[in-house]
Amino acid sequence: MLFFTQCFGAVLDLIHLRFQHYKAKRVFSAAGQLVCVVNPTHSLKYAPTRCAAAQASTEQGILPPCHHHEAVHDPQLVPCTCPLFSCPWEGHLEVVVSHLRQTHRINILQGAEIVFLATDMHLPAPTDWIIIHSCLGHQFLLVLRKQEKYEGHPQFFATMMLIGTPTQANNFTYRLELNRNQRRLKWEATPRSILECVDSVISDGDCLVLNTSLAQLFSDNGSLAIGIAITTSKVHSSEAEM
């Protein structure tokens, strides 16, 4: 009975995923955009990352053991950038993508313009939706996080991080766009380097920020579709328009 129950649950999950993918394809196929259905990563064992811990120590007047990505023994090593998990892994930039794909099972999608379809938006915070976007010869980490910045008031934060150096990140511009029911919301900015903390970017609010009511306006049956486009640019600009 246990075996058949587990198999039946797996089949239901597969059917649900295929249904979500079919809906997304039906909506966005006319635009010729690739669609990636992203399931949430929800952890009840949430622990602050080393960057977040260092920031908290600084606010309390305690000198942190390292600053951002600079480890004491080797400043060239990068800590794991996967949010919601206190992963002890660290390595060089060249192997970050391999670690994220193999250890944390993060999908990678290629294309100049894609659609990021986040499912199950109703789950309690903290929850993350993560994907790697391969474009223009580089890899970008897109993180959508549901987090309570103020107790009892969850918000959604979406940001794009280049898996590369800050100098390389300055050569690109990314655009996140929500479009539904004759409403459009767009955020355009220069991506941050993965050498910076995702937690810091979200805390600073240097990303697309949605409150719950605004997210519901653009969601469809608990799923939120975000159009993503990346271009090469030397101009540093940041805008949000509706």
Can you give the pLDDT at residue 159?
94
Can you give the pLDDT at residue 41?
78
> For residue 13, what is the enclosing H or E element?
helix 2-28
pLDDT tens-place values along the chain, 242 residues long: 555 455 555 544 445 445 444 544 444 443 445 777 888 876 534 444 445 444 443 344 433 333 443 334 455 788 887 765 668 888 888 888 888 888 888 888 888 789 989 999 999 988 999 999 999 999 999 999 999 987 888 999 999 999 999 999 999 999 999 999 889 999 999 999 988 888 889 888 899 999 999 999 999 999 999 999 999 975 544 444 54
Can you give the pLDDT at residue 226?
95
Place of tokens 């992203």: 38
Place of tokens 């196929």: 29
Can you give the pLDDT at residue 74?
57
Place of tokens 């075996």: 3
**Residue 212, both tokens:** 């719950």
Can you give the pLDDT at residue 7?
56
**Residue 133, both tokens:** 């976007």
List Cα–Cα distances, 19 to 7, 37, 60, 178, 242, in angstroms. 18, 10, 48, 21, 30
Domains and CATH numbers, the chain: 30-41+74-232 (2.60.210.10)
Residue 129, φ and ψ in degrees, nearest 5: -125, 120
Confidence (pTM): 0.72
Work out the angle at residue 196's Cα, subtended by the Cα atoms of residues 190 and 201, and round it to the nearest 5 degrees: 65
Measured distance CA(160)–CA(110) in Å, rounded: 15
